[in-house]
A and B are shown apart, each in its own frame.
Chain A
Amino acid sequence: MSLNIIVLVKQIIDIDQIRNDPKTGEPLLQNIPLRIENLSKNAIEAAVQLKEKNGGKVVCIIFGTDRSNAAMKEAYAMGADEGYIITGYSGNNPYRTAKVISGKIKALGNNSVIIMGNQSADSYTGILPGLISAMLDVPLLGNAVSIEAAGEVLKIRRVLDESDEIISSGAPCVISVTQEINQPRLPPVLQIMAAGRKPINIEQAESDGTPVPRVISNLAPKSERKREIYEDIDKGVDAASRAIRGEIR
């Protein structure tokens, strides 16, 4: 059976580049680029591998903004066939995100599997797979470290605290992946160039009235650590060894 695979791609501000204002503790967000969220790349890779094995097509959905084209082009370069950007994302509201995305998935119709990361690197909410599965009313195969398709059945392996499991369900279903599932490919230049020419479908999300939390503050945690950093190895070794000796004495 060839698969109609939908991948949910999240675009985030490049959190690794965020620095906090040393005085106020406020995150400095100006001029920080956006990037595809780490696990979304694993999800795209997993989808493309499934397609390569079973045939079918990979459709990516980004609930994003008018700055989301680059992320979609990256998904194309990795092997996605079709992409939809729904603009109007305002962040930090998984319930609304799930509503918008599941609405789009329903409109596309006829899909066999929806793949996404299990917990995104910026906010870690981890509840989107459950939300999407509830809103589409399809089974959820969560935390996959590998995926296999056989006819109308999808099978994943997952690693839990007490056991490793293989679970399965019929299509359509939602699969969430962990970062262990694969090493996302680095697309060759030719593919990157081809991706640049491929059309992207852009739509606007309707606004809605889901209550959003009121942010009281969003500041760097106060770390009590000394943070004595040595670029001179010998000096660093001296300091570290003194500290260790002080404790094992």
Chain B
Amino acid sequence: MKFLLFADDAKSLSGLATRFREDGEVQAVTVESEIEQCQNYGIKKLYGLKGKAFADNVSLAISGMDLQSYDLIVISSSPLGREVAGILSGKLNFPCMTEVFEISFSGGKMITKRFFFGGKTIMQEESSSKIITVTPGSFDSSPGDNTAEKETIDLGDSRVSLLEVKPKEKSSTNIENASIIVSVGRGIGKKESIESIMPLVEATHGELAGSRPVCLDYKWLSEERQVGLSGKKVKPKVYIALGISGQIQHIAGMRGAKIVIAVNKDKDAPIFQECDYGIVGDLFQVVPKLVESLRK
């Protein structure tokens, strides 16, 4: 088989390349800044998009390639990737299978798995889709045995204009390597309350993390502490979720934890389906007791 991959970050592209080179020849498209980091993953031909990437000009660049020569177009499900997948699907009249995290091919058939009903179920399907989007982080990467042949494609103008960009500052915390994580959700209520969680962080020698609302919307914690689908994927020995409801996008970031402890005042919160030890109660009552018990 022959695959065309698109991802706008090197980590996702190298993961996709590692997976799909098992089933055939892989060619790939990415943005220029990511090329250097993608060339050793068994990609035969690597196209680098030069210019500011928007969904429309990227889709146009990809649809200008000889798409009939590929069996499947595989797109990493980033915000840009999803838009590109939608546009390509609409323009080329190819139905698209989405958010795939596992895939196999047998006898000319493609079988995929994705989450459904908000993550409550896994749907396994057989389809003839010619485009798929893949959930980032689904496939680990390992180097392949060739260096990609590279080619630059100049992006055309977009109908969207960029008026302002504010790059985000990078900091040094790395919750991805933490062995204990104390993670807070919207249930913490306000920024000041994070102070009352710190004794638990100290008692466990842990790192502080949070759900998306806490890190992104309210900015009570910095964004590099966000756990989840659109944040960090963590693999601690213990993950303590405080006032986190346990939506699937959050779970996606902590599936790799060895032990999950959850505190939530709602006994029906989905987090209780995804924890080893769950305490139904007010986190402000539970946390001091837990600290006390750990210090004993």
Contacts and interface: CB of A to CB of B under 8 A. Distances in A.
Nearest to A231: B280
Interface in B72-91: 77-79, 82-91
By secondary structure, the B interface counts as: mixed
B55 A225 contact: no
Interface stretch (B40-48, B140-148, B165-173, B191-199): B165-173
A218 B238 contact: no
B138 interface: no
A5 B106 CA distance: 46
Contact of B275 (A20, A133, A227): A227
A212 B125 CA distance: 10
A110 interface: no
Contacts, number: 265
A20 B118 CA distance: 13
A163 B270 CA distance: 32
Name the residue in A20, A121, A155, A213 with the highest tally of chain B Cβ atoms < 10 Å from its Cβ: A213
Contacts of A206: none
Interface residues of A, number: 81
B274 A241 contact: no
Interface in B255-295: 258-261, 267, 270, 272-281, 285-286, 289-290, 293-294
A125 B98 contact: yes
A131 interface: yes
Interface string A53-64: 000000000000
Contacts of A241: 290, 293-294
Contact of A248 (B83, B205, B290): B205
Interface in B101-122: 111, 115-122
Contacts of A162: 167-168
A220 B280 CA distance: 23
Given A123-B116, A213-B125, A248-B205, A133 B278 contact: no
Interface in A123-179: 123-135, 139-143, 155, 158-170
B190 interface: no
A221 B165 CA distance: 40
Contact of A130 (B87, B163, B205): B87
| Chain B, interface residues (CB within 8 Å), range | 35 or more
A165 B162 contact: yes
Interface stretch (A10-18, A68-76, A196-204): A10-18
A127 B290 CA distance: 44
A215 interface: yes
Nearest to B290: A237
A130 B96 CA distance: 11
A125 B99 contact: yes
A163 B168 contact: yes
A219 B272 contact: no
Closest 7 interchain pairs by CB? A130-B86, A134-B90, A236-B279, A213-B127, A127-B86, A15-B118, A126-B82
